[in-house]
Amino acid sequence: MISVNLICVGKIKEKYIKNGIDEFLKRMSLYAKVKIIELKEDGNDSNRKQSLEKESMEIIKTAEKNKGYNVLLDIGGKNLSSEEMSKEIERLTVTGTSTINFIIGGSYGVSEEVRKISQMRLSFSKMTFPHQLMRLILMEQIYRWFSIFNNSKYHK
């Protein structure tokens, strides 16, 4: 069974978002082992560059520890349909990838080093979403991608 890690900066504070994520975690248990790894948000407004670098170093360490195919959520990344991303996941599993790491940076973004360790940069939109909400959207899409890949009915 494939492993999926969400490497995220910051914690989820809103209960309704936590509930949505938990629902998709439960549904995903049919297809993959999913783990959410929350990294400490530095959030130093007086020195954003330092915060970005500190958070990025933690992302890199965590991605290296959880060896896998790294997908960075990035506004400048590829914009794929759900079907196209499902095919990409199928391609990865067929070629022997056992772990996929989805990376959501902090509010200041990520360093160039994080982009370099990422095999794919994926954009959901040119719009900016709150990081907490993006995690829920990502979980829903991961479930959708695996449902498509497994020819399962998507339950709304």
List, as residue ranges, the binding site for S-adenosyl-L-methionine: 73, 105, 124-129
Task: Please give the C-alpha separations between residue 144 and each of 18, 116, 135, 151, in angstroms, as whole numbers.
Answer: 18, 27, 14, 10
Rg (CA), the chain: 15
- Cβ neighbour number for residue 69 with a 10 Å cutoff: 17
Contact predicate 6/104, CB 8 Å: yes
- Binding site: residue ranges? 73, 105, 124-129
Q: Would you call 9 helix, strand, or coil by DSSP?
A: strand
Task: Please give the C-alpha separations between residue 38 and each of 132, 150, 156, in angstroms, as whole numbers.
Answer: 11, 28, 27
For 103-130, the three-class secondary structure string (H helix, E strand, C coil) is EECECCECCHHHHHHCCEEECCCCCCCC
